[in-house]
Structure 1
């Protein structure tokens, strides 16, 4: 245990190798940092290893006087708890989740000769998309859209050309550009067509040795893919859907009922049977109408992001989308055998 302060040796020895969150405290009892881990003991011990650390972490470790922890059944619950506590307590050494009010919206403008989109701090109307976590990408897109319009719709694609300097656009052309942008940002098929055309233009520019133009199209491609993954792709996967998720835990199983990107009910069981799962679903569905509306969609975005990301890790999980025809026994078999 070399490297660990004497007053913390017993505390760290008592931390279990289970999922949960940890809180680093200074000599005055202030929480300096909140983290999460699938295995708390090894994560906390890593702060006191001899491996090279950033200056920020070195400063924090120097001031650690005490460590508290909370064990959870699953890594998902650890992440959700970490996010909630950071938002509430705003520890000095945490950066992620603390400043969700910095998330921004992208609005398709009404008539504006040079600026088809603009960035907003708050949602305004139906032509407003987001919120998005990456403000830098939005700032870049705001400039890029000034240089590639006017957008127009072809037979099975979108037409546009990159221009080094923005050009003023007349009202009729602006309206067509506006309609194209709205359907691209709303509809996955339209966005995929737009992405395909950007990729095609990037290849053509590169083949003609116009490498600066190709690099600009590459940036545009990456930025539009960000919008696609952050909104359309995510919305199709979870928004308005009812999902049953089960995870094998240390002792038994844990069931989660997810509706409209929120965990409505969660329960753990020592064994899992069709009768148990049906009873869980009946109770969960009875709670659907009692879900409160969004109080803060910027803050909720972080919890949704955690849920989406965690559902991609199926190593110890079984996931069932509750459409009209679903096989509950197959879900149970998969959960038991993960």
Structure 2
């Protein structure tokens, strides 16, 4: 009988021994290290001034935080990347964490770009507009704003004070008379010559000065013009100046905190409670408060706030430039190094510091109070949501409260532009980053055939999950809710059976005979349809899910339909993108004029060479 094998070494020691052995071979140089588990999945990313010393510190298991100790236990491999400097290592670390989202790093979901106000510089008559995306269009950018709503409100207020055009270049090129914006005094109608270049340029300079924070000079200039017009008995001009001054005062009055003497800064504050952390960011530009946004990091339990702030700053500014000042609520490690790294991406000096007194501390305290309020609201909402999910499990016979609910709905108008939509909800509410839309591809589906549309949507969705299961770890829903009756539920059952999927609960929700809210019928496989009491919390929750899916489906359908309506014949030509399309419309005035142009005329347009001109000419001649 063979002797029993010696007991295996504890996993934590196995990971620690591997790290100790690897550290002995590492260089004493700056760089980034990556910890991987036995399956090659990324566990953790870190940066170091000395790779040898920093990695070796993980071998001392007893002195590690519980989160890092778990990471060490799971570590089976180590990868490194040597960098030229510690700043370069810091930038690479932030890039990898944001892109790969390692399991044990403090990370933030930041899947949206911030909107800006753009004064376009690629037209003789500059346009003021909202802009989101890469800042590669010629012009001046002001922001970032915390939300599209903040930009829209500011633009409306600016147009009252500064009558610049907001129409597209294509609309501008073809106008023959002033639009409504001119009638309500929010545009000076440069499209039809109602204002001179000099006068229009002066207004552009006023907007630029105001957005840069020089509002006092702009206000003084408008006041002087109003007084001069009144003395000259030009009361109409004086009234216009008076209205612009009032609109300007309205913008300035919207500031809810005094930021005098701080022209450009981001204020970042972190607050912890109940094992969760909220990081609140306020944006101040040109002496104005451009709004704020709250972030809730993952893996932040039992992590010092200074470490959370350090991780946030690295990831937040990884793909966006930092302002001249970044005010923070806690001192962070290697603050000068962080400022140096941010300066690399921003192209100017960046000071990162935690003020202790004065007006800057007032801003930090204001952000900290907002972080506390946001986290308290979130904790209260999560507690309520957990109770509701317990009720969902009871009503629908689930083994445990669902962590992920997927809701499906279709939308079309008499069969045109059909789409399917999926929304996702869980313990923290709606997960909008996980929403998906499905353009119906099967052209054989009869217009308005909701059953066939739902079959295509569900088949594509769950076939993709099966494929992702082969490649990694997909996130499966615990409950699938269909907006519809027994027919839609039967389609879902058939799809699940055909794909041999198990463990996914199905249900459908249908409005009552009079389509009144509160009389919804629920359908489950193998059960009789039932209704819930009118004030049942689960009924309210199901209505919210259904209504959100309906809203998302309708919005997606309208966007698709609007895109098809506004699609230009120029979009059909290979090689004609947005930039060339804009140049052609500006030069010729309309797509019809482009279709009649000769090759020689087309070549006169910027960005159109002989090959592209011939392609455009031949396209219209063939049609």
> Is TM more than 0.5 here?
no
Higher relative contact order (CA 8 A, sep 6+): 1
Q: What TM-score, normalized by structure 1, do the two folds share?
A: 0.39
TM-score computed with the length of structure 2 as normaliser? 0.24
Q: Give the number of the structure whose alpha-carbon radius of gyration is greater.
A: 2
